[in-house]
């Protein structure tokens, strides 16, 4: 976009309804100098809309979701919410920490095998967060905070959680997660945005071109729990080391694709480390929208919306179905609390949790 057509960076707050528990929910619109616009509500720290320009400078909302709060409260797809305390699955809803066994509620049974998913039925995606918004150094920032009490959804520790959204001047949405606990606990937060770079409701994402900096992935059991193996992607439908369409081999006869109904697996990045680095790219050729993913996390769950109900009503009269969007959930590995060989998700008092992921948008 030309500099003359760009609005100044700004933050605007509006009411977005009242949650079932009586809490007022607000929605914040963050407008960046580069034209990127994010609309984020306090319920679930959820991205309701994300407006991104194409190569002709036309804006489109590229995340799936609902028009109103009632849709999110009734929905079960985690559309663009922050999930946790533990994003992804924990086998049988059980783990041990410091010699104590913990039992978490079961809220998912893939293949008839029970597990705990995304923090449980009343996880962070169902909480109303406290907001503080401002423009800092020419960039709009929304800081959301939530005190998760000891024992909530079975997790130990009183944990003060923060999620900070920043729309940068160069058209990135930066998401920074923080957490402080008063007793050892586990944390694994992630953003569950469903992206469609053509625009939400504009067909499937199968032709969008994905590249992942990951030569290994975690195969799963029938219950979508990692087996513990770290399988090489070369020669399999899981090979996105070189860019290719997401749907290129999604229908292949492969046991792992059959189990997930498509992709619902964690890839292991080749260059893990504490610093944020480029790990993925997705291109939608018609619009020219390119999304580049940067993160501090060791892995990413690619989910291709396999279980979105056919004909589901979305925003603005749109109709969704399977593979209407893809998720790139940056995170530590699924079931990590039960896998000592996986990177640890344990957080201790005095050692704050930190994670950062950035979605950078441009055009080609």
Residues with a catalytic annotation lie at 192, 329
Main-chain phi, psi angles of 302, to 5 degrees: -90, 120
Per-residue exposure over 295-327, b if at least 16 CB sit within 10 Å of its own CB, e if not: bbbbbbbbbbbeebeeebebbeebebebbbbbb
Q: How far is CA 285 from CA 193, 196, 302, in A?
A: 20, 12, 20
Per-residue exposure over 265-275, b if at least 16 CB sit within 10 Å of its own CB, e if not: bbbbbeeeeee
CA distance 83 to 117: 9
Assess contact for 325 and 308: CB atoms under 8 A: yes
Query: Coil, strand, or helix at residue 338?
Result: helix
The partner residues of 145 in beta bridges, in order of sequence, read 130, 162
């Amino acid at each position: 976009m030309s500099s003359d057509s760009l609005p100044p960076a700004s933050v605007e707050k509006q009411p977005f309804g009242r949650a079932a528990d009586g809490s007022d929910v607000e929605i914040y619109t963050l407008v960046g100098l580069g034209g990127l616009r994010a609309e984020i509500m306090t319920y679930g720290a959820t991205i309701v809309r994300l407006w991104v320009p194409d190569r002709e400078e036309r804006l489109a909302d590229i995340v799936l979701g609902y028009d109103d709060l009632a849709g999110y409260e009734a929905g079960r797809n985690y559309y663009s919410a922050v999930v946790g305390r533990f994003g992804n699955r924990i086998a049988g809803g059980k783990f041990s920490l410091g010699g104590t066994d913990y039992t978490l509620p079961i809220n998912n049974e893939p293949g008839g095998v029970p597990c705990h998913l995304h923090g449980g039925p009343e996880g962070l995606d169902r909480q109303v967060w406290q907001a503080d918004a401002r423009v800092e150094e020419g960039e709009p920032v929304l800081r959301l905070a939530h005190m998760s009490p000891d024992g909530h959804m079975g997790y130990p520790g009183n944990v003060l959680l923060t999620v900070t959204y920043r729309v940068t001047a160069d058209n990135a949405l930066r998401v920074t997660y923080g957490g402080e606990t008063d007793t050892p606990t586990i944390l694994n937060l992630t953003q569950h945005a469903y992206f469609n770079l053509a625009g939400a409701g504009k067909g499937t994402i199968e032709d969008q071109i994905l590249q992942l900096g990951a030569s290994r992935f975690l195969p799963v059991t029938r219950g979508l729990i990692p087996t513990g193996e770290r399988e090489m992607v070369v020669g399999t439908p899981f090979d996105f080391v070189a860019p290719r369409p997401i749907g290129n081999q999604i229908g292949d006869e492969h046991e792992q694709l059959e189990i997930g109904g498509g992709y619902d697996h964690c890839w292991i990045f080749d260059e893990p480390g504490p610093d944020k680095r480029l790990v993925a790219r997705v291109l939608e050729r018609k619009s020219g929208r390119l999304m580049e993913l940067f993160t501090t996390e060791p892995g990413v769950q690619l989910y291709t919306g396999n279980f979105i109900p056919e004909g589901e009503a979305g925003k603005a009269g749109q109709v969704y179905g399977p593979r209407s969007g893809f998720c790139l959930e940056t995170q530590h590995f699924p079931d990590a609390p039960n896998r000592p060989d996986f990177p640890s998700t344990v957080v201790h008092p005095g050692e704050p949790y930190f994670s950062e992921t950035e979605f950078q948008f441009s055009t080609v």
